[in-house]
Each structure stands twice: as structure tokens, then as C-alpha cells.
Structure 1
Amino acid sequence: MDQYIIAIILGIVEGLTEFLPVSSTGHLILTGELLGATEEKWKTFEIVIQLGSICAVLLLFWRRILGLLGIGRKRTIGPQLNLLHIFIGILPAGVLGVLLHGFIKEKLFSSFTVLLSLIIGGILIIVAEKMQPRTTAETIDDLSYKQAFGIGLFQCLALWPGFSRSGATIAGGLLLGTSRKAAAEFTFIMAIPVMMGASGLDLIKSWDMLAASDLGFFAVGFITAFIVAALAIVSFLKLVERISLTPFAIYRFLLAIVFYFFILQ
């Protein structure tokens, strides 16, 4: 198959799944296997399209991001999301990621562990929906520091490939008393420094894998992921206000079945 077509397909998959609670890692592994995109250069390609997805968050939340930086923000009465919320949210996974980086790369990147995390992540989502306490943070500006830190602890689960960052943090947010939309928006904004740092570091390490002849389809994948991710985020934020996350959990279970038969058999 032409590498440009593969780049578009993988860009679509990345854009659709990166910020939904369904695991972009699981989807990219499965799709890459089915398309025969398993060479080392495709690992680097996945890093590039992840950056495309995170740029979509920068586009959609640029006003909020400028506000966090104190640029153009008007004074408001009452609590408001600030950089401290973001810092304490990303701190747990940041520290644990550094400490366990070698273990994660060596032990948790197998097909079986990804399949297992799809199932366990789906169970967590269902549990969160069933046990959700009274909502105390309806909007992202209602988040307390305690809730931000708690969501950050749940984000540690996303260090397990296939668990899904948004799945772990939104489920965690529900259990901590936030609305689905507040947890989702916090997840997306918190993902900016996390993903840019992790993807940037991986890209530097993989720089030798890049060749001038690859730049064309890398760019196509980046742009595709950027556009699709932007559409997916907007649609998802509208959707979570109306329905529960249980259908996403069921989808994860179905994906695990497909993953088992196509990857592990």
C-alpha cells in the first residue's frame, strides 16, 4: 500500500482516538499491523502525528492557555483554573514516568499488556459511571486543587500503554466529583505539557530514523491527525454532556477481542 495512504489512515486513527477514552496506542498497533506499517520509521511517524493531535488542543483552547499564562485574562470573582492546577495534575505521572521509564518500555509495551489494559480501563470507566458521587465541579473553573491532584494520580494509569490517558483521567474525575465535561477539558489542557514533553523527547531520540524522503508522508500524517483531532475533540465535548462513557467502555471490550484475534492469534 502507498505510504501516503497509510499516513492518512494512521493520521485519522490517531486524531480520532488520542483524546477519546478508547486508547490511541491500541488502535495504532492494530492498524499498523493490518497495514503492514511495522518498520522502525513508523514508530517515529506515530510520534509526529501525536504532535499533530496536541496542536489541535492548542488551537481549540488557545484563549484558555493564554489565560493560564496571564495574557489577556480578565479579573473574575471566585475560583478559576490556574497553572498550579496544571502543575499538580501532571506532577504524579511526570515523576512516576521518569522513575519507571525503563520498566514501562521493557515490560508494558507487549501486545498482551495492551490488550489487558484495554479491558481494565473499560472496567474503570463503568465503575466510575456507576459510583459517581455528587458533582462538585460542574465546570473546569470549579476544580479544586485536591481534585486536580487526584486526577493527576489517575493519569498515572495512562503510563500503562493502552489504558488511555483520557479514559483514566475522566473516570478519575467522575469518581472525584467533577462533571464529564470538566474532567475532559482538564484532561485535554493537562495533556499539552505532558504530550509535548514526552513526544518531543521521543522525537529527539528517534531523529536518526528520519530521512528527507520521509518528510512528505510525515507531513501528511501530521496535518491529517491535526484536523481529525480538532473535530474529534469538539464532537466529544458536546457528546459527554448528553451521554455516559459506558458505550466507550463497551467499545474497548470489543476492540480487545479484535486485538486478540488479529495480533495475538
Structure 2
Amino acid sequence: MWEIFVAIVLGLVEGLTEFAPVSSTGHMIIVDDLLFKSNEIFGDEVANAFKVVIQLGSILAVVIIFWGRFMDLLGVRKIRTESGDPAQKLNLLQIIVGLLPAGVLGVLFEDYIDEYLFSTNTVAVGLLLGAFLMLAADKFQPKVLKAESVDQITYKQALGVGLIQCLALWPGFSRSGSTISGGVLLGMSHRSASDFTFIMAVPIMAGASLIKVVKYWDYFSLDVLPFFIAGFISAFIFSLVFIRFFLKLINKIKLKPFAYYRIGLALLLFLLAL
């Protein structure tokens, strides 16, 4: 039962932080690596496989929330834009443009990042730097927005967000924190930048997760299946609830509250590392 409880709590942490601009990596270090230590319960390989499983739960939540949008992007069915203009609409090529920079760098430097950058101190540094970027985004957002909705995003904005997303390769920087901030600085509303971020996250996260599933396939055994299932369901449910809540509020609360939270979390990580 203890293992199931650990799985549910870690799924909750994943669900609440994977798509929030606060860094799921930083929270996993505090909750799992420093408190539960699932790697000591099951071994490093099973613990790593579990983190892939709960990430898949979060990805599924995004797919369900944006199901109509994904069907439209794939040409399965057509939806009208938020502005009501069927001629101006987010398309698949814009998603690809946004994905390419971080995708290429991620493939080239994955082993280096995993070996040298996943430590408490590097994550704390990423949290601080990401917080400063978020504060800058709120402060210097253009007064005249070029993209009030995700359907008004240009290719130039998509590429700019993709380039800024490269910062998220540094653990703790946060994929959503960097991309939403980048979008806001490039003239998107907080909501349109968030929508673009979540839609763009699905293929890159799914691809990375599938690669890791293959890598850890031998550790998906029947004896740990209940642990994996509990974590997957927990991550899925909490992601579903949080993302809907976040998208309703982001234009009102903006990024500043998350930035201050990140600064506090970074200080906590530095203290824990002493």
C-alpha cells in the first residue's frame, strides 16, 4: 500500500507541475528524490520508467482537452477559429516550426544533460533564471498584442517561441515557463501563448517519452504494474483538472505569482543542498 500511496502522490506532483510554469523537475527532486526516494524502493531503472509513465498520463490529459484542435491540425475534422475566421487558423507547420529548435538540440545533447545537469543546484539555478524571464515577460509585454488567440500566431512568433524553448533544456527552467514567457514577449496574450505551449508540448513530450519507454521496456514488469497504473491515473486526473483551471485564469493572474513561487522553491532547494 505504501508503494501505491507514493505513486499517487508523485502522480499528483506531475499533474500539477508538468504544464505549470514552475518546473516539474524541481518538484520531483523535492518530493521524490529527497522525500520518498522511489529509486531506493524499486531501483533507479524502475523509478525512471515510472516517471515516464506518469508523464504519459499528463500528455493524455492535454490531448483530451485539445482534442478538437488536434483533430483539426491533422485534417480529421475542421473547427472554426476562436475569432470566427475560418481563413486564419493555427496549422501543423507552425507547430513543427516551434518544435524544431529544441527538438534538434534535445536529441544532440540528451546524454550530456542527463549526466551533468540533473542536480539540485543546477535545477535551482534554472528555477531562478526562469523566474526572472517570467517577470520580464509580464513587465515588457507589448501593449498592442499581435495574437489575442492561438489562431492569430504568426510563423515568426512560432519560431521565436521555439528558440526560447531551448532554454528549457536546462533542468528547472520549465518548458511551459520559457515558452509562455517567450510568447508573451513576442506579442501573444498569456492565454494564446499557453494554448500554443500545451499543444506544442504533446508531440515533443510524447516523442521523448516513447524513446524512454523503449529504453526502460525491460523494467515494465507485472510486479510493478499496480505502481505504474496508480501513478498514471493520478497524473492524468490532476493534469486534467489543473490545465483547465490554469487556462481559465492565466490572462488574469499572468506569470508573476508563478515567478515568485519559483524563487521561493529555488531558495528551498539551495537550503536542502547545504
TM-score band w.r.t. shorter chain: over 0.9
Cα deviation, 1:46-81, whole Å, max 9, x if unaligned, reads 110000000000111100000001122057543100
Aligned equivalents of 1:111, 1:259: Cα separation in 2: 6
Cα offset, 1:225, TM superposition: 0.3
> What does 1:36-47 correspond to in 2, within 5 Å?
36-38=37-39, 39-40=43-44, 41-47=46-52
Cα offset, 1:208, TM superposition: 2.0
Q: CA RMSD in A?
A: 1.3
Secondary structure (helix, strand or coil) at the match of 2:251 reads: coil
Q: Structure 1 residues 217, 135: CA separation in 2 closer, same or farther (over 3 Å shift)?
A: same
Aligned equivalents of 2:271, 2:224: Cα separation in 1: 32
| Aligned partner (choices 170, 178, 182) of residue 192 of structure 2 | 182
Aligned equivalents of 2:115, 2:253: Cα separation in 1: 38
Cα offset, 1:36, TM superposition: 2.4
> What does 1:23-62 correspond to in 2, within 5 Å?
23-32=23-32, 33-38=34-39, 39-40=43-44, 41-62=46-67
Q: Structure 1 residues 258, 74: CA separation in 2 closer, same or farther (over 3 Å shift)?
A: closer
What is the one-letter code of the residue matched to 2:155? Y
What is the one-letter code of the residue matched to 2:11? G
Cα deviation, 1:184-236, whole Å, max 9, x if unaligned, reads 00000101100000011011101122221000110010011001001110000
Cα offset, 1:20, TM superposition: 0.4
Cα offset, 1:261, TM superposition: 2.3
**Match of 1:250?**
260
**Match of 1:84?**
93
Aligned equivalents of 2:123, 2:92: Cα separation in 1: 32
Q: Contact 2:69–2:79 (CA<8 Å) still a contact in 1?
A: no
Cα offset, 1:103, TM superposition: 1.9
What is the one-letter code of the residue matched to 2:103? G
| Aligned partner (choices 68, 76, 83) of residue 71 of structure 1 | 76
Uncovered stretches (5+) of structure 1, i.e. residues with no partner? none
Is 1:151 matched with 2:170?
Answer: no
Aligned equivalents of 1:16, 1:99: Cα separation in 2: 29
Decide which moves more: 116-125 or 205-214.
Answer: 205-214
Uncovered stretches (5+) of structure 2, i.e. residues with no partner? none
Of all paired residues, the percent bearing the same amino acid is 52
Q: Contact 2:102–2:165 (CA<8 Å) still a contact in 1?
A: yes
Q: Contact 2:121–2:269 (CA<8 Å) still a contact in 1?
A: no
**Match of 2:11?**
11
Is 1:104 matched with 2:93?
Answer: no
